Structures are given as structure tokens and as C-alpha cells.
Amino acid sequence: AQSVTQPDIHITVSEGASLELRCNYSYGATPYLFWYVQSPGQGLQLLLKYFSGDTLVQGIKGFEAEFKRSQSSFNLRKPSVHWSDAAEYFCAVGDMGSGNTGKLIFGQGTTLQVKP
């Protein structure tokens, strides 16, 4: 069965510092991969997605992610963090084993705290 692991439950970075959030997935082929962000009391906002092609994908709010097949990873990065980036971040994979439908499998999330 597919799974998604976000090894870091909580990360604190200083404003202006760079950020990398880790995501590892378990699947035999290339899955559909997504990063979402959730602010307190809100729904999930799609940051970026990877389906195929260029392994470095750009998203909204200055985020990017790199797909590495050899490491089964899809890490999220941002060169300079802003205080407004404080939120919870979720990595998700499309469940290709469920008959090509819209089921997403989520990691447990990483809470980002930004220090002034």
C-alpha cells in the first residue's frame, strides 16, 4: 500500500532563512505528488504538484519542490521564509492503487514556526 512520511513533525526557522520540508513516499512507479498548506482553522491550499517531466517544480508563494525517484522523495523548499509562511504543511500522493481515482494519501504534516 502506498504511504507518505513526513519525518519532521515540527520545524522552527528564522525569518529570512531557507526552508526544506522532507517528504518520502512509498510506491513502485511515479505517483502524482502534491504539497498543501493549511493555516489554523482553514482548509488546505495546493502549493504545487508533480506529475511527470521536469523534476523541479515551482509553486505558489515562492515554494518549489524536487522529485527524486532514487530517494522516493519530494522535498519542499523555499529560499527565504516569511512570517506568513507559518502553518502546517502536508505532502500527499495520489493513490494509484485505487483504480485511478481522486483519493489522496497524506503525510502526518509538518508544523512550521517562524521566528522573527
For residue 42, what are the CA distances in angstroms to 17, 22, 95? 25, 22, 24
- Residues forming the site for other proteins (CB under 8 A): 32, 34, 36, 41-46, 49, 51, 90, 94-95, 98-109
Considering beta carbons, is residue 70 or 100 the nearer one to other proteins?
A: 100
CA-CA-CA-CA torsion sign (57, 75, 21, 93): positive
Those residues whose C-beta lies under 8 Å from the C-beta of residue 31, and which sit 6 or more positions away, are: 2, 25, 93, 94, 96
Closest CB to other proteins among residues 28, 43:
43
Instruction: Report how far residue 113's alpha carbon sits from residue 10's, in angstroms, rounded to the nearest whole number.
Output: 8
Minimal distance, residue 67 CB to other proteins, in Å: 13
Q: Cβ 81 to other proteins, closest distance in Å?
A: 23
Least distance to other proteins, CB of residue 92, Å = 8
Given the complex with other proteins, which of 87 and 105 has the nearer CB atom? 105
